[in-house]
Each structure stands twice: as structure tokens, then as C-alpha cells.
């Protein structure tokens, strides 16, 4: 009888550790995941600092850390 109880407890423990318990993530893995999410993609929209129009990042003009929708807005800002 005791052997059956121990066997059931062992099976439950194995199932818990293999399927249910989440593996802890390291700090480095969490930082990598955050960096991947923070990167801008080619079709992401950014706001023009001068006029507020949203434009795709691959079409925007960049000066310093700011994005502009056109050369005219870039010239106005400078």
C-alpha cells in the first residue's frame, strides 16, 4: 500500500517538474528579449518633430535623435 502511494507521489512530482513548473529566465535573456522588442522595424511609424505627421521610419528624415517627415520640416527645425 505504501509503495503505491510513493509511486503516485513520484509520478505527480515528475509531471510537475517536467510540464508545469516554469524555468526561471536569466537577466541576460530578459534583456535580449526587451532589446528585440525595442528595435524599430522598417514599417514602424514615427512622428515628425516639426509638424506632428506620422510617417514610416524608412521614409523619414533623421537629424540627431529626431525624425522629420520631409526636407522642408528638417529645414524649418534648423
C-alpha cell at 11: 509520478
* Listed residue (58, 64, 37) closest to 46, CA to CA: 58
pLDDT value for 10: 94
**Regions of the chain short of the pLDDT cut 50:** none
Nearest-angstrom CA–CA distance, 13 and 2: 16
Amino acid at each position: 500500500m505504501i509503495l503505491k502511494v510513493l509511486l503516485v507521489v513520484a509520478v505527480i512530482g515528475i509531471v510537475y517538474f517536467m510540464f508545469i513548473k516554469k524555468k526561471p529566465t536569466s537577466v541576460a535573456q530578459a534583456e535580449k528579449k526587451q532589446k528585440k522588442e525595442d528595435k524599430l522595424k522598417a514599417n514602424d511609424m514615427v512622428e515628425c518633430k516639426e509638424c506632428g505627421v506620422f510617417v514610416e521610419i524608412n521614409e523619414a528624415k533623421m537629424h540627431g535623435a529626431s525624425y522629420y517627415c520631409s526636407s522642408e520640416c528638417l529645414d524649418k527645425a534648423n
